Amino acid sequence: MKQPRALYLYSLVDIWERFGFYTLRSILTLYFLHVLLLTQSDTYSLFAAFSAYLYLTPVLGGIIADNILTCESCVYAGAVLLSIGYAVMPTPLPNAHIYSLSIIAIGSGLFMPNIANMVNRLYQKNDAGKEAGFSIFYTAINIGAFAPPLIAPFLIRYLGWSWAFEAAALGVVIALLSFYAIQRSFVSQNKHLTTLWKNSLYFIGILFAEFIVLYLFLTHAHLANIALLIMGATYLFYSLYRSKKFQLNIKKKLLACHLLIIFSIVFGILYQQSAMSLTVFTDRYVRHHLFGIDLTTPAFLALNPLFIVVLGPILAKLWAELAKKNLNPSFTLKFSMGTIFMGLGFALLTFANLGGNQHFISPVWLIVSYFLQTLGEMLVSPIGLSMVTDLSPTKMHGTMLGTWYFATAVSDCLAGYVSKLTIYKDAAVTPLAYYLQVFGEAGAVAILVGVVILFAVKPINSIIQMSE
């Protein structure tokens, strides 16, 4: 099916924006530990808080686009802020990293939801090509995520840390210039820039207030995580309270939706370990040589987008073939299997030192672990938002989507706490064995949750079919 030309152009813009973000993500934990000399505990708290707020700032970004500016204006402003944020990180300013992360979170909140909304506007309601279009857009995100973990370490080794962050800034500048060229060829450029200029004072005031809040939160990351957990729990109770107002069959669907969202937190906690505890583990306890090739710590983070790009078309074809035979697994079953695969990716590492080496493990173990984690992600991530909308009535879509994003933010916060569990405390075992023990326990919990969901597949599917 032919796709709009603009889809490919917007995907190109997103590739470059994601290049910037994944450059940051692949090296941020190591930068905190090796350059800023933060403790592991402070590193995990700050990374977790930053990651969590990345899921909340898009809420304000969407509101600004709907009521003050336009989607296009927000994409421009977001790109500018992102490039500034990346450039600020390596500067000698006091607390430069806090300034940088605050600006990046604001910029991402403006850019990400609005570029996705522009892609959405390319299609009519119930357009058959929409799902395929977003699959292409999702693939573009992972293409943009693949190169940074390979390029950033090279820049750091030969040119210095600042060059890696400037490369991230350059990627967003290319995205900005590409977006300008695309918009100029499709629509009147003046309309969006004029809107941005007319509302600039109001807009700047909102951004300044948002910056102050984020700066204060990230400066006290431990408290920020606690605050976000409280906000998440409060929002969950609000969402459950609203559910009580509907008739019984809808209540049951909403209850099932809430339970799956809560279970998704376990998946999210393990998913976020790749940039936190798994990165530190890789840096310290994984051999960096494979088939005569020297590997860097961030290079392992390229495995996830690589596997996604490879597995994406295979799984898409598999689901299509199964759908023809009316055998396509329900999203509840996919959710269960995805959580189990994510758990297996961590439980597998428990056996990594069976050969007797108590200091390093083969990189093959980590590669297989990332493959299983990615397989789990491919089963869960694409169905998350559609699951929420399928199980909730139209009047609850906004509330339930908010619940989903809050749950994702909460999982990022809790991921920081789980990462802290890997900090070596038990002199009775080696540091390597201690890491593997914690990973194994975390994986076992995820597998258990996946099995619980598996037993709930039939009841949830019955609720859905009964309500249709």
Q: Residue 215, class by beta-carbon neighbours within 10 Å (0-12 exposed, 13-18 middle, 19+ buried)?
A: middle
Q: How far is CA 224 from CA 227, 276, 418, in A?
A: 5, 18, 16
Element (H, E) at 99: helix 96-120
CATH topology of domain 234-468: Growth Hormone; Chain: A; (1.20.1250)
**Model-level pTM?**
0.91
Task: Please state, in angstroms and rounded to a whole number, the distance separating the CA atoms of residues 301 and 193.
Answer: 37
Kindly tell me if the per-residue pLDDT of 102 is higher than 90.
yes
Task: Please state, in angstroms and rounded to a whole number, the distance separating the CA atoms of residues 465 and 390.
Answer: 11
The per-residue pLDDT for 356 is 66
The per-residue pLDDT for 125 is 65
Kindly tell me if the per-residue pLDDT of 305 is higher than 90.
yes
**pLDDT confidence tier of residue 176, bands split at 50, 70 and 90:** very high
User: Which residues have a Cβ under 8 Å from the Cβ of 78 and sit 6 or more positions away?
Assistant: 61, 106, 107, 108, 109, 110, 111, 112, 114
Name the residue among 241, 239, 219, 242 with its Cα closest to residue 231: 239
Domain ranges of the chain: 1-219, 234-468
Task: Please state, in angstroms and rounded to a whole number, the distance separating the CA atoms of residues 376 and 341.
Answer: 5
- CATH code of domain 1-219: 1.20.1250.20
Name the residue among 142, 30, 21, 151 with its Cα closest to residue 83: 21
Kindly tell me if the per-residue pLDDT of 416 is higher than 90.
yes
**pLDDT confidence tier of residue 159, bands split at 50, 70 and 90:** very high
For residue 298, what is the DSSP state? G
**pLDDT confidence tier of residue 250, bands split at 50, 70 and 90:** confident
**Other CB atoms within 10 A of residue 393 CB:** 15
Name the residue among 92, 111, 106, 91 with its Cα closest to residue 217: 106
Max Cα-Cα span within the chain: 68
The per-residue pLDDT for 121 is 77
The dihedral formed by the CA atoms of 335, 337, 338 and 340, expressed in degrees to the nearest 10: 120
For the segment 127-153, the average pLDDT, to the nearest whole number, is 82
The per-residue pLDDT for 448 is 96
Same CATH fold, 234-468 and 1-219? yes
Q: Tokens 């405390």 appear where?
A: 425
**Mean pLDDT estimate for the chain:** 87
Chain center to CA of 189: 31
